[in-house]
């Protein structure tokens, strides 16, 4: 049996919410394969696992956040610079499983996404607050990152505006909710990641990502 499989053949099965913000204006050009508004893009991509397993390890309740720098088009392989953080409530086993999955070591759609990354500058644990209430997203990453966002809605205000079947996605196979961040910022000077944006692009999603051997 491969070390990346379970008896049921499921390598990972993850359900939860995505919160994503960046330095582009609304709406996000990366999700339709266009170049970033400013030629490059700085972002935070954060995942909360409502329930899930990786190699049979239960990661329910855990969160992962990525501070990202994309120097050119989002789809250029090996171009992203990433600082990767798991919430500080994770056990050593959970931490390693999450890092392995999102580093692409376990294959599947997360490996396709990881193929865009050229440099991981750190993998660490930090306090992460990742909340979605009544459509509003709140993200806090240690003492260096924060964002607050609201989705766009239809004319009646009842339905959230949805982005589907896009060329690119950080939650492959799941629809995304187009949003705006009242503020978003990252302050990681040690990695040359310092930025702030107001009334800029945000994406939210409920996702289910799975991979079997």
What are the structure tokens assigned to 142, written together?
């240690």
Residue 44 and residue 56: Cα distance in Å, rounded? 28
Residue 172 and residue 185: Cα distance in Å, rounded? 25
Tell me the pLDDT band of 166, cut-offs 50, 70 and 90: confident
Are 84 and 64 spatial neighbours (Cβ–Cβ below 8 Å)?
A: yes
Q: Strand 57-58 relative to strand 41-54: parallel, antiparallel, unpaired?
A: antiparallel
pTM of the shown model: 0.92
Q: How far is CA 99 from CA 95, 117, 122, 189, in A?
A: 6, 13, 11, 23
What are the structure tokens assigned to 127, written together?
């306090």
Tell me the pLDDT band of 3, cut-offs 50, 70 and 90: very low
pLDDT at 126 over 70: yes
């Amino acid at each position: 049996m491969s070390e990346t499989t379970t008896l049921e053949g499921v390598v990972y099965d993850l359900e939860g919410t995505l919160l994503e913000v960046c330095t582009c204006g609304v709406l996000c050009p990366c999700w339709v394969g266009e170049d970033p508004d400013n030629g490059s893009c700085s972002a935070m991509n954060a995942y909360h696992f409502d329930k899930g397993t990786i190699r049979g390890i239960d990661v329910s309740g855990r969160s992962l956040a990525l501070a990202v720098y994309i120097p050119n088009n989002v789809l250029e392989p090996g171009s992203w610079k990433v600082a990767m953080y798991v919430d500080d409530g994770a056990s050593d086993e959970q931490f390693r499983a999450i890092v392995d999955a999102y580093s692409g070591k376990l294959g599947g759609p997360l490996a396709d996404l990881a193929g865009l990354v050229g440099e991981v500058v750190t993998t660490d644990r930090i306090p992460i607050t990742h909340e979605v209430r009544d459509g509003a997203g709140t993200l806090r990453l240690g003492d260096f990152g924060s964002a607050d966002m609201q989705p766009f809605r239809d004319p009646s205000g009842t339905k959230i505006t949805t982005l589907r079947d896009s060329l690119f996605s950080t939650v492959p196979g799941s629809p995304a909710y187009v949003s705006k961040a009242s503020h978003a910022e990252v302050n990681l000077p040690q990695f040359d990641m310092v930025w702030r944006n107001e009334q800029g692009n945000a994406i939210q999603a409920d996702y289910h990502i799975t991979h079997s051997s």
